[in-house]
A and B are shown apart, each in its own frame.
Chain A
């Protein structure tokens, strides 16, 4: 029965891990930024990997107190798994291993307490941490795993306590490991164990000094080699004392065997849930931290890959948002997607279902990022968040989930020309502006002297990527090609510095015209974007 349960949970565990790996592969291309990942280095850093896996050095840098609790949970859990849960295997390492022998008995209790403290600290932080508390999406994340661990630990302690008080277990042990019977002082041993090992016997036994002495002798003879003093099991012993009043009832119902089944099933549940819950970060974070980390200094020269695994290694700790440079923006706009910890959740939701997220909010939030690198520097999971935001930005633009002003620049002029007929009718006349681009007298005076082009900082900065210069845009207008003029990159990358307008010897309002083209082109750009999205971008 138990074996079947173990096998089932092992199968679920394996399938779960496979499923996760399959999922990462599936999402791999989502954040793949075409231009930058070529030839980027997949450098595995052993030192960082070991340090962060064993000692959580990144978390140590981020927050000392949290590290203390996390580390105690981590080491305690590790001990319990390797020495307690897997004792069948690991006991081979220790010749004298017995679960009831010191130091193992003490250590088991101690690590139980460590895990317990870690869990309580987690819950406490969850309650007081305002950012997590107010975010619906991550409010309950990780709670399941922690509660499950708490249940396992609690049932473990109770199991030990119930074993301590159990009379039947005592009887079984005596029968199995000794030849003591009623005549050779079983009563004395019972008395000794009742006194020093807190067993609760159903019938009353009178304690005398002599029988105690005899009990001690028998104990030393038969039991002591396997049973250290019960005081080292300091938690379970306390529980046992507390159970004293109802001990005999519990004993008669064989609480210990029931609890051992519960404890065992809870452990198997933990195993089965491992790939699906927060617990999986135990495997993901070492994987992520091994990746080469880009620092602020090297970010210009080397572009990293952001694996989809990174998204799921996030533990929603919220340190990133605490150091976020644009946190004040969030306070003003209320847009949670300004903050890294929320953005990463949106990205996850978006990967699962592109339409599920409010991309406008996400785009706005992400575009407020100043690339200060603070979030990457502090992330305890070692996720290269900076790289993620850059990739996300590119992705959003690729999907045309951005302001037209960004995506339109990628549309070549001949694409605009194709849509001329369908969109011409849309070029609305805005009552708020003076529609300079429709009035010949606004630009007909242009003599093509190129002064506007010569003073234009956009032309100067990047002439290779600009298809038309300001004076050429004016010329397109003079030719009656307002639609084409709207599609030029010049219009969409104009800084509106007004240099051209200020310098125009013919007093043409060049910048005003460009701005109006941009305003009136907003709709047409939207339509071209939509048709492009439908035909080109596949996710």
Chain B
């Protein structure tokens, strides 16, 4: 037997990925009664680095130091890009808001506001990012600093090899040494979560510090995989620094990523405290719109929930998140069946040259919106007054190549929620 329930609220957020979470955070901070529907597991895939704009123009072969410069050019080049609809200051404001939100949940981020930070990754490469976890801060701008590095990895932990990093860093940081730590109690494969939980144990920290200290001759900096605790990771890094008397930092790596889990934990904990109703793993299976009110049915295995709301924020993501679905003929939006901007034919989805600087047309497909991210129909008018689309579902947004995923999600979510809130407020006064 399935249970049934009814919820009335101001705003429904469909999707619990990064964009959905930011939207929920923003909405709850504005005091809106919010329901969120979706699965937050996609946060396991995020590296924890929050980018604004890493590369522009794409054929420049160089990473961007000041995102503002790139954005100015982007706005003129691609007028339909989500960033082209937002003032730079608003983007920075949204990052500021997110930083404050995460900080109040116990997760420290560093935001420089003007320039990109250059973070060492598990592949040994340097990645530009805008807002990084404080635990990774000391690993930024290594090339300039010319410091002697010790990279630590753990036996059995897949996707992170200290030797590989040292190999790639050979030219820029020649003195880089490596250390593989074995954990006697855990033979065989190690999961990042298992390791992260070990960091809660002080005796493990001591054991690790001892191992590091043995190899710390002529070393200025110690790089660890980003597994240093699921909670209060900064505290753990600081403890380790105190024990080893060396600077330590985390190196973000492959999913499942612990920094992503930290984000997920903070979002989920904070949002539930702020009374955002979260329908985990629910799917919207039908909707109707009457008298300026959306009625959506969210379905889980054992519960049907009917949600009535004035506004909807669609943050359902693209193909992996289930926001878009591709069949033989075309790409469709899954909840409201909104028109999707897409190549005319399927064989135009990909460029013949996989590494072509123009990218692939499929990656630019998505929902077309107006200036406040309301999806538009063929006549370029918003389909519903209070239906917004935010995050990766937006069209003209090749975020993987531009390294702009988090920025687009964060900024569009904040703009959309703010707009909804203002209009609702005005409507109440009328």
Contact = CB atoms under 8 A, between A and B. Distances in A.
Interface of A: 449-451, 453-455, 459-460, 463-464, 469, 501-505, 507, 509
Given A449-B44, A454-B256, A505 B193 contact: no
26 contacts: A449-B45, A449-B255, A449-B256, A450-B191, A450-B256, A451-B41, A451-B44, A451-B255, A451-B256, A453-B191, A454-B44, A454-B192, A454-B193, A460-B193, A463-B191, A464-B187, A469-B189, A502-B41, A503-B41, A504-B41, A505-B42, A505-B44, A505-B45, A505-B320, A507-B39, A507-B281
B143 interface: no
A509 B193 CA distance: 21
B39 A454 contact: no
A504 B255 CA distance: 13
Nearest to B44: A451
Given A455-B193, A460-B194, A463-B194, A503 B44 contact: yes
Given A451-B44, A451-B255, A507-B39, 6 more contacts: A450-B191, A450-B256, A451-B41, A454-B192, A502-B280, A505-B39
A449 B45 CA distance: 9
Contacts of B330: none
B427 interface: no
Contacts of B41: 451, 502-505
The 10 closest A-B pairs by CB, nearest first: A503-B41, A454-B193, A505-B41, A454-B256, A451-B44, A454-B191, A451-B256, A460-B194, A450-B256, A505-B42
Contacts of A459: 191, 194
B191 A460 contact: yes
Interface string B293-335: 0000000010000000000000000001000000000000000
A453 B301 CA distance: 22
Given A450-B191, A453-B191, A505-B39, A463 B186 contact: yes
B272 interface: no
A230 to B, nearest CB: 81
Contacts of B44: 449, 451, 454, 503, 505
A503 B39 CA distance: 7
Nearest to A500: B41
Contact of A502 (B186, B193, B281): B281
A498 to B, nearest CB: 10
A505 B38 CA distance: 10
Nearest to B301: A509
A454 B194 CA distance: 7
Of B44, B45, B197, chain A has the most CB atoms within 10 Å of the CB of B44
A142 B190 CA distance: 60
Nearest to A459: B191
Contacts of B256: 449-451, 454
A13 to B, nearest CB: 57
A447 to B, nearest CB: 8
Interface of B: 39, 41-42, 44-45, 186-194, 197, 255-256, 280-281, 283, 301, 320
Contacts of A449: 44-45, 255-256
Of A451, A453, A460, A505, chain B has the most CB atoms within 10 Å of the CB of A505
A463 B188 contact: yes
B204 to A, nearest CB: 14
A106 to B, nearest CB: 71
Nearest to A503: B41
Contacts of B255: 449, 451
Nearest to A461: B194
A455 B230 CA distance: 12
Nearest to A472: B189
Nearest to A512: B301
Nearest to A450: B256
Contacts of A502: 39, 41, 280-281
Contacts of B197: 460
A390 B239 CA distance: 42
A451 B186 CA distance: 19
A94 B191 CA distance: 82
Contacts of A509: 301
Contacts of A507: 39, 281, 283
A142 B41 CA distance: 66
A532 B69 CA distance: 73
A451 B42 CA distance: 10
Contacts of A464: 186-188
B315 to A, nearest CB: 15
Contacts of A503: 39, 41, 44
B189 A463 contact: yes
Nearest to B283: A507
Contacts of A450: 191, 256
A227 B192 CA distance: 94
Contacts of B187: 464
A501 B39 CA distance: 10
Nearest to B158: A450
Nearest to B198: A460
A459 B283 CA distance: 29
B146 to A, nearest CB: 36
Contacts of B191: 450, 453-454, 459-460, 463
A374 B42 CA distance: 50
A454 B187 CA distance: 16
B100 to A, nearest CB: 27
Contacts of B188: 463-464
Contacts of B192: 454
A136 B197 CA distance: 54
A453 B186 CA distance: 15
Contacts of A451: 41, 44, 255-256
A501 B301 CA distance: 11
A122 B101 CA distance: 75
A451 B256 CA distance: 6
A459 B191 CA distance: 9
Nearest to B281: A502
A453 B158 CA distance: 13
Contacts of A469: 189
Of B45, B188, B256, B283, chain A has the most CB atoms within 10 Å of the CB of B256
A454 B195 CA distance: 10
Contacts of B186: 463-464
A123 to B, nearest CB: 59
Contacts of B280: 502
Nearest to B280: A502
A243 B197 CA distance: 87
B238 to A, nearest CB: 25
Contacts of B301: 509
B104 to A, nearest CB: 25
Contacts of A504: 39, 41
A505 B45 CA distance: 10
Of B45, B191, B197, chain A has the most CB atoms within 10 Å of the CB of B191
Nearest to B261: A454
A505 B256 CA distance: 11
A55 B402 CA distance: 88
Contacts of B281: 501-502, 507
Contacts of B283: 507
A453 B193 CA distance: 9
B199 to A, nearest CB: 13
B322 to A, nearest CB: 8
B201 to A, nearest CB: 13
A458 B350 CA distance: 42
B187 to A, nearest CB: 6
A438 B197 CA distance: 36
Of B186, B190, B193, chain A has the most CB atoms within 10 Å of the CB of B193
Nearest to A504: B41
A502 B282 CA distance: 10
Nearest to B255: A449
Of B41, B44, B301, chain A has the most CB atoms within 10 Å of the CB of B41
Nearest to B256: A454
A507 B280 CA distance: 11
A501 B280 CA distance: 11
A9 B39 CA distance: 82
B230 to A, nearest CB: 11
